[in-house]
Structure 1
Amino acid sequence: MTFKPDAHAVQRPRPDWPVLVVTRPAEQAGAWLQALSARGCEAVSLPLIGIAPLADPEGIRQLWQSAAHDACWMFVSANAVHHAFAQQGGQPWPSGLLAAATGPGTVHALLERGVPAAQVVAPPADAAQYDSEHLWSLLAAMPWRGRRVAVVRGEEGRDWLASQWQEAGADVRFVPAYRRVMPDPGQLAAFWQQWAARKHVWSFSSSEAIRHLVGSLPDVPWHLESAICSHPRIAETARRCGFVDVQECKPEPADVADMLQKWQHRTL
């Protein structure tokens, strides 16, 4: 996969303000940059995790074939929705199947693909946090013993929610829908060379992405960089990797823009 870190840069409103580095997958970057630009934020896209189809999506095809027998599918991201529904093969969404999600982006992707809103379980848009813990608080009271659940994700992922389901008696299986692709360290070095003279604020939504970035650019003084993270776990990873100025906010462009503008005024 080819990454073009400078392809989506937008005009900065003030030369003394930092550029926001959006590290989300390329498929999401365009909408983010447009929303940030509309709020007066300069931003550039540096996808730290690429999303690619599986070489063999047979597992997802088999999942669709057994959909009528399942109680719930949990989609870890909008990317999981996109790649799972690419193998739908014209089958309707079963009337008894719940779709669980942690964030509004994933919910939007499910609704776009015809999943009835009444069958979607997710934290509300105004929730303080979009994560598995909040989602489980909505699912825990349901009867899960002996029922079949699928977690639709990449080839790897966090297992906490699946463990809660298993303790409640559910039959849980992980179904990969896509694979992650990391950018080449040389491409990250080229980005840094292009933007090193500017101040930056990094927007992170993945601990894995932070570790790959810092490991690929070990000579960068990360303690002088700033980060906006979408979750406390990701913020903690940023601190362990050397970031000192770390803020947390919801993974929505409007919230990130508001946080960036607060940071800008704080540094004036």
Structure 2
Amino acid sequence: MVAEPAVLVTRPEREAEPWVQALQAEGVRAEAFPLIDISALPDPSALQAAWQQVPTCLAVMFVSANAVRFFMAAQPGGVHVQACRAWATGPGTQAALLAAGWPAQQIDAPPADSSQFDSEALWAVVAERVRAAQAPSPARVLIVRGADAQGQMAGRDWLAQQLEEAGLLVLQAVAYVRRAPVLSPAQQARAEQAMHDGSLWLFSSSEAALHLTQACPRLDLSQARALATHPRIAERLRQAGWGHVELVPAALSAQALSIKSLS
């Protein structure tokens, strides 16, 4: 009997292992292959300064659970979040906010059964509140995100554009650094094997796919199988030369069902 193909979960290590365990519990053969390294800022002073803006903001938008983790770790004494809303693009970020002590009634996020967890889904939830925001001066929203090793902010600006068009003032804060991992010889060999053994590479970020080809530039992607959790990621994978790309749901149970249907 031929074993079902493995699903390689490419999320950062802190998220990859729990996701692997959850997929395994759903009956999916999965293994962790982190392709994004996450680390703290070398100088937290700018992040601590950003915290001083929180009491003046309509909301703080977090792009990921890591944004929550590093931002909340920098919370100075005397600055509270009770009067400020938190925005999350998905259930992982929402769970991180709850674990960090942000009041549940102050969190806005797409429903758990949403087909996508992204800025568009979040905007559908918060747009009415944003348009109703009234203040003597423009309401403020602080967006907390990561940056690459060169300090360039990671992520899309789509939500910031919607907020600015609605008349709000958008502030940005970098909470952590995203880097390409250094793959061991064993990991490079596993990546090579996975290109032709039927393994399924699961990408929730096109940045992870870029890191893979940077670390292993000789990989032949023409027969490789990739799973993308968003249409934009799928398109970028196809443009990069991945031979077989399938779109799968972002929510775990639905994702597991989709993956099992492909095996």
- TM-score, normalised by the number of residues in structure 1: 0.86
Q: Which residue of 1 aligns with 2:254?
A: 255
Q: Which residue of 2 aligns with 1:8?
A: none
Given the alignment of the two structures, is residue 88 of structure 1 paired with residue 86 of structure 2, yes or no? Answer: no
**Structure 1, unpaired ranges of 5+:** 1-13
Partner residue of 1:181 out of 179, 182, 193: 179
Q: Which residue of 1 aligns with 2:19?
A: 32
Counterpart-to-counterpart distance in 1, 2:127 and 2:158: 13
Q: Which residue of 1 aligns with 2:164?
A: 166
SS of corresponding position for 1:227: strand
SS of corresponding position for 1:138: helix
Deviation by residue 1:87-135 (Cα, 9 ceiling, x = unmatched): 1134464332110111011011111112122211111001121110121
Q: State how many pairs are aligned.
A: 251
Q: Could you tell me which amino acid in structure 2 is paired with residue 245 of structure 1?
A: H
8 A contact 1:99–1:120 mirrored in 2: yes
Aligned-pair distance for 1:193? 4.7
SS of corresponding position for 1:176: strand
Assess, with a 3 A threshold, how the Cα gap between structure 1 residues 202 and 195 changes in structure 2: closer, same or farther.
closer
8 A contact 2:228–2:245 mirrored in 1: yes
Q: Could you tell me which amino acid in structure 1 is paired with residue 171 of structure 2?
A: R
Q: Which residue of 1 aligns with 2:150?
A: none
Deviation by residue 1:32-86 (Cα, 9 ceiling, x = unmatched): 1211222232222111111100001112211222321111100000000000011
Partner residue of 2:122 out of 99, 120, 135: 135
8 A contact 1:130–1:250 mirrored in 2: no
**Structure 2, unpaired ranges of 5+:** 148-152
Counterpart-to-counterpart distance in 1, 2:194 and 2:249: 26
Deviation by residue 1:121-168 (Cα, 9 ceiling, x = unmatched): 111001121110121122222235701111000021211111111111
Q: Which residue of 2 aligns with 1:204?
A: 203
SS of corresponding position for 1:223: coil
* Root-mean-square deviation over aligned CA pairs: 2.0
Counterpart-to-counterpart distance in 1, 2:114 and 2:195: 36
Q: Which residue of 1 aligns with 2:98?
A: 111
Aligned-pair distance for 1:198? 3.0
Assess, with a 3 A threshold, how the Cα gap between structure 1 residues 79 and 165 changes in structure 2: closer, same or farther.
same
Counterpart-to-counterpart distance in 2, 1:161 and 1:112: 25
- TM-score, normalised by the number of residues in structure 2: 0.88
- Name the % identity: 41
